[in-house]
């Protein structure tokens, strides 16, 4: 019987210090990668790991307006710098995955997809499926990709996962952020913020309205609103469920991957 396939995203706020440019949290990266390895060993599932760019990619992407496309004389330079620093963080994560015995294989999204107006539209996941079948753990990340309308655009990890989910059957999604899930207000600045335990087709519109109104975790890929939209698209495509959790709490990533009851926001079609 084929193994189940899970996807987990390690958010940029989990793997980097978002307040300091290009500062990886190496100890945290090591911890979460080892949690992923322990869960994979116990659960026996196949896995694709994705990670955000945090303080690596978001800063030059914002400075050079990369997500707006080729809009100025320095746009190409900005795209190259953004891709370079995203790969820099990816190499650190790959190194920790090798140390943990996870058998990683890196895939830059710009090498297997092209976008159209900011939406990944063409490409193939065949070589990623091949890597999984040969025992590797593919690791992808938010990346600058070629774009038919804009010249270039940013494919967030959620967009990359959605693209892959259309071509590869996925059984579970885990999004590890630096908060406990989706809140009705930004929990960093509102002590009375309440955790939303479930998002599905019946309440997603109101949740997204709160996300926009309260400006939860805004970044160049759209912040929490885009993460919720991306997760809902992924679970709707796959007919499964996902969960948004706090990856900074030791043990939570492992438990979420193993399907245990953990604090977080469950997302269903």
> Tens digits of per-residue pLDDT, 47-75?
999 999 999 999 999 999 999 999 999 99
Q: How confident is the model at residue 107 (pLDDT cuts 50, 70, 90)?
A: very high
pLDDT in the model for residue 210: 72
pLDDT in the model for residue 221: 60
Mean pLDDT score across all residues of the chain = 93
Is the confidence at residue 20, as pLDDT, over 80?
Answer: yes
State mean pLDDT over 132-160. 97
pLDDT in the model for residue 227: 87
264 is in an annotated binding site: no
58 is in an annotated binding site: yes
Query: What gap in Å lies between CA 218 and CA 18, rounded to an integer?
Result: 12
124 is in an annotated binding site: no
Q: Are 255 and 172 in contact (CB under 8 A)?
A: no
210 is in an annotated binding site: no
pLDDT in the model for residue 215: 46
Any idea where the domains of the chain sit in the sequence?
5-267
> Tens digits of per-residue pLDDT, 211-246?
655 544 435 566 788 889 999 999 998 999 999 999
Q: The dihedral of CA 192, 52, 54, 39: what is its sign?
A: positive
162 is in an annotated binding site: no
Q: Are 122 and 110 in contact (CB under 8 A)?
A: no
SS3 259: coil
pLDDT in the model for residue 219: 52
223 is in an annotated binding site: yes
Is the confidence at residue 155, as pLDDT, over 60?
Answer: yes
72 is in an annotated binding site: no
Instruction: Tell me which of 152 and 184 has the higher pLDDT.
Output: 152
pLDDT in the model for residue 218: 35
At the top level of CATH, the class of 5-267 is alpha beta
pLDDT in the model for residue 242: 97
Q: Are 248 and 221 in contact (CB under 8 A)?
A: no
State mean pLDDT over 171-189. 90
pLDDT in the model for residue 213: 52
Q: Which residues pair with 237 in a beta bridge?
A: none
Of the chain, the percentage scoring pLDDT greater than 90 comes to: 83
């Amino acid at each position: 019987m084929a193994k189940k396939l899970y996807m987990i995203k390690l958010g940029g706020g989990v793997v980097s210090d978002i307040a300091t440019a290009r500062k990886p949290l190496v100890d945290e990266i090591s911890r979460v990668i080892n949690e992923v390895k322990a869960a994979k060993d116990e659960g026996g599932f196949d896995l694709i790991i994705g990670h955000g760019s945090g303080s690596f990619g978001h800063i030059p992407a914002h400075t050079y307006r990369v997500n707006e496309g080729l809009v100025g004389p320095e746009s190409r330079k900005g795209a190259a710098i953004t891709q370079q620093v995203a790969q820099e963080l990816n190499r650190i994560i790959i190194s920790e995955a090798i140390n943990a015995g996870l058998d990683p294989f890196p895939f830059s999204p710009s090498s297997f997809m092209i976008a159209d107006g900011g939406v990944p539209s063409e490409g193939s996941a065949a070589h990623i499926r091949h890597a999984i079948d040969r025992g590797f753990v593919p690791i992808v990340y938010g990346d600058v990709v070629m774009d038919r309308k804009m010249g270039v655009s940013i494919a967030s990890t959620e967009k990359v996962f959605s693209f892959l989910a259309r071509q590869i059957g996925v059984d579970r999604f885990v999004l590890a952020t630096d908060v406990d899930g989706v809140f009705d207000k930004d929990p960093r600045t509102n002590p009375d913020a309440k955790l939303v335990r479930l998002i599905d087709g019946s309440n997603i519109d109101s949740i997204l309205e709160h996300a926009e109104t309260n400006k939860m975790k805004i970044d160049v890929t759209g912040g929490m609103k885009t993460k919720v939209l991306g997760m809902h698209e992924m679970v709707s495509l796959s007919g499964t469920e996902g969960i948004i959790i706090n990856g900074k709490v030791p043990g939570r990533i492992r438990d979420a991957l193993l399907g245990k009851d953990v604090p977080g926001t469950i997302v269903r079609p």
